[in-house]
A and B are shown apart, each in its own frame.
Chain A
Amino acid sequence: MIALQHTRQVALRYIRALLRQPAWVGISLVQPVIWLLLFGALFKRTADIPGFTGGSYIEFLTPGVVVMLAVSSAGWVGMGFIEDINRGTMDRLLVSPIWRGALNLGSVAQSVLSIAVQSAIVIGLSLAVGAHFHDGLAGVAVLIAVAGLLGAVFASLSNGVAVLTRQRETLIGIVTMVTLPLTFLSSALMQQSLLPDWIRWIAKFNPVNWATEAGRSAASPNADWGLIATRTGLLALLLLASAAFATRAFNAYQRSI
């Protein structure tokens, strides 16, 4: 109960701060549009490759873009922690009786909410340009949920790294180094069966690919619920581990000051 109340307070704080930055709001609303239209136009002919089984490329691409957006926006969440630590805000919270887990989970909740809004925009736009999601609302809801789950994993990792390094530059370096390769080592932009063998093998261990597979299957005409369940389960386990990592990182921080 207290855990939930404290998480809510932390989440409210971050959400409020974001909404007060009109530039940020504007950019995060426009970014999904640019991604979908740009990738959609660039890779349009992919649908003509022999062996491509999806419908239109936009239909295939939409879940991929949703997942990519989740990873890229969640990766930066740790920047807020670094600012809080460099000011005294984090120290003030750490000497209060706040439930420690709320610090990460509150920030994760804000990130998941942003991802849900961005995902809804991508999906809406994709419908507007003629894509069909056969399972209707249920499939779309699962896609957004899976993207949120993946975002929560990356936001927690970002927070943990932020607390351990407390360096903006280090976090920027790590996020840029990790997110793009993980995206390309998945089926986000290209159908799994058309990927080179070695990438397909690596993708089996790539959480970005787990989310892509589950989300894409949920939005397709014949959803494979077994696959969706296992991939979601893996992501949930990973979230437990990464949230524990982010929360425990504070112990290391408190030992170092």
Chain B
Amino acid sequence: MKAIEASNLSKTYPGGVPALDGLSLEVEAGTIFGLLGPNGAGKSTAVKILTTLARADSGEARVTGLDVVRDADRVRRSIGVVGQKPGLDPEATGSENLEMQAELYGIRGAVRRERVEQLLDRLGLADAAGRLAKTYSGGMQRRLDVALGLIHRPNVLFLDEPTTGLDPEARGELWREIERLARDEEMTILLTTQYLEEADRLASELVIVDRGRIVAHGSPDELKSELRGDTVQVELVESANGDAAAAVSQVAGVSELSVDGQLLRARAANGAAAIPSLITALERSGLQVASATIARPSLDDVYLRHAGRSFQQADTDTKEVAA
């Protein structure tokens, strides 16, 4: 059964900024599905539409079989949402936050007490339950947000960049909790992230989103195995020009070259064999090599291949547009 189905979602913000451009996806019930992409790729917009917060200009979406526009109220009862911005009330204690959320879902009395206690316990907030949420650390606030999304035991949980801004320890804790939810509670989880390693670790299936479109789709392993061979990265002493591309293209066994300032990236069936001839070819063109590395394919390479730019580059582009 499909827990989430979206077809052809498009949305343009006032001022003509396109956020989604025909996004379609299907999420199998009980799996963790990743939406990977840089800032501004349209991930949050997709989550807002699927969770009934925003409306698409065109296209349709169903969550647990219910239309997100026509059946918004029933959809809201079956989903849990942890947004990118903190949803907690900083002027209330951890318990008060959860108690109010429970009431809104019609959970009262003894059941409410039990759920609140259980969640505080499981997310390591029991000792801080009586403290105002604004006194919590970043990691604790995030965990309280997750608890708020879980109070009514939703079938589908949406996590919009849940670990952005967390330190590595807090991130690891949250990852374990997300894995536990999918495994023990058979929850369907849709997760957006800009961290490649997060998608790699958590998602059983993922799409790579760029400029409001899906550019790649598969399991992390499938996506990585699409890229046969190694990534070769060469850093030059000075910024490269057209000569670099010309020089490298003559080296046998090297493909998919991209040049970004001083950084050359290419794919090679056998990286170790390609590097000496690569360096020779570059130096013959008068380009000095500062360093050369070989790496097994990562999701970053998958992204580079499908979106035509590196992850970091996409991030910088977005910031420049925003500025």
Interface residues of A (CB under 8 A from B): 2, 5-6, 9, 12-13, 16-17, 20, 87-89, 91-98, 254-257
Q: Judging by beta carbons under 8 Å apart, are A88 and B84 in contact? A: yes
Q: Judging by beta carbons under 8 Å apart, are B86 and A88 in contact? A: yes
Q: Judging by beta carbons under 8 Å apart, are A255 and B55 in contact? A: yes
Across the interface, name the chain A residue whose C-beta is closest to B77: A97
Q: How far is the CB of A97 from chain B (nearest CB, A)?
A: 5
Q: How far is the CB of B95 from chain A (nearest CB, A)?
A: 12
**Known contacts being A9-B100, A17-B92, is A87 close to B81, with CB within 8 Å?**
no
Binds A, one of B23-31, B45-53, B236-244, B248-256: B45-53
Interface residues of B (CB under 8 A from A): 13-14, 48, 51-55, 73, 76-77, 79, 81, 83-92, 96, 100-101, 103-106, 132, 145, 148
Across the interface, name the chain A residue whose C-beta is closest to B149: A92
**Known contacts being A254-B53, A256-B14, is A98 close to B91, with CB within 8 Å?**
no
A108 to B101 alpha-carbon distance, docked (Å): 20
B100 cross-chain contacts in A, Cβ below 8 A: 9, 12-13
A2 to B107 alpha-carbon distance, docked (Å): 12
Q: How far is the CB of A24 from chain B (nearest CB, A)?
A: 11
Q: Which of B14, B51, B103, B132 has the most CB of A within 10 A?
A: B103
Across the interface, name the chain B residue whose C-beta is closest to A251: B55
**Known contacts being A9-B103, A12-B100, A92-B83, is A17 close to B73, with CB within 8 Å?**
no
Q: Judging by beta carbons under 8 Å apart, are A93 and B104 in contact? A: yes
A12 cross-chain contacts in B, Cβ below 8 A: 100
Q: Judging by beta carbons under 8 Å apart, are B76 and A20 in contact? A: no
For B53, give its contact among A5, A13, A16, A257 (CB under 8 Å).
Answer: A257
- Pick the 3 closest A-B CB pairs, nearest first: A92-B87, A88-B85, A17-B91
- Identify 12 new A-B residue pairs, CB closer than 8 A, beyond the known A13-B96, A92-B81: A16-B92, A20-B91, A87-B85, A88-B85, A89-B86, A92-B145, A93-B104, A255-B54, A256-B13, A257-B48, A257-B53, A257-B54
Q: Judging by beta carbons under 8 Å apart, are B89 and A5 in contact? A: no
A256 cross-chain contacts in B, Cβ below 8 A: 13-14
Q: Judging by beta carbons under 8 Å apart, are A95 and B51 in contact? A: yes
B53 cross-chain contacts in A, Cβ below 8 A: 91, 94-95, 254, 257
A91 to B158 alpha-carbon distance, docked (Å): 13
Q: Judging by beta carbons under 8 Å apart, are B92 and A13 in contact? A: yes
**Known contacts being A9-B103, A13-B100, A16-B92, is A91 close to B87, with CB within 8 Å?**
yes
**Known contacts being A255-B55, A257-B48, is A5 close to B103, with CB within 8 Å?**
yes
For B91, give its contact among A16, A91, A92 (CB under 8 Å).
Answer: A16
A12 to B91 alpha-carbon distance, docked (Å): 12
Q: Which of B73, B83, B89, B148 has the most CB of A within 10 A?
A: B89
Q: How far is the CB of A237 from chain B (nearest CB, A)?
A: 29
A88 cross-chain contacts in B, Cβ below 8 A: 83-87
19 sample A-B contacts, Cβ–Cβ < 8 Å, listed by A number = A2-B106, A6-B103, A6-B104, A13-B100, A16-B92, A17-B91, A87-B87, A87-B90, A88-B87, A89-B89, A91-B85, A92-B81, A92-B83, A95-B53, A96-B104, A96-B105, A256-B13, A256-B14, A257-B54
B54 cross-chain contacts in A, Cβ below 8 A: 254-255, 257
Q: Judging by beta carbons under 8 Å apart, are B85 and A13 in contact? A: no
**Known contacts being A20-B91, A96-B104, is A87 close to B96, with CB within 8 Å?**
no
**Known contacts being A254-B54, A256-B14, is A95 close to B79, with CB within 8 Å?**
yes
A2 cross-chain contacts in B, Cβ below 8 A: 106
Across the interface, name the chain A residue whose C-beta is closest to B158: A95
Q: How far is the CB of A173 from chain B (nearest CB, A)?
A: 22
**Known contacts being A91-B53, A256-B14, is A97 close to B85, with CB within 8 Å?**
no
A13 cross-chain contacts in B, Cβ below 8 A: 89, 92, 96, 100
Q: Which of B48, B76, B85, B86 has the most CB of A within 10 A?
A: B85
B73 cross-chain contacts in A, Cβ below 8 A: 97
A16 cross-chain contacts in B, Cβ below 8 A: 91-92, 96
Across the interface, name the chain A residue whose C-beta is closest to B101: A96
Q: Judging by beta carbons under 8 Å apart, are A96 and B76 in contact? A: yes
B89 cross-chain contacts in A, Cβ below 8 A: 13, 17, 89
Across the interface, name the chain A residue whose C-beta is closest to B45: A257
B86 cross-chain contacts in A, Cβ below 8 A: 87-89
Across the interface, name the chain A residue whose C-beta is closest to B151: A96
Q: How far is the CB of B206 from chain A (nearest CB, A)?
A: 23
Q: How far is the CB of B310 from chain A (nearest CB, A)?
A: 29
A254 cross-chain contacts in B, Cβ below 8 A: 53-55
B76 cross-chain contacts in A, Cβ below 8 A: 95-97
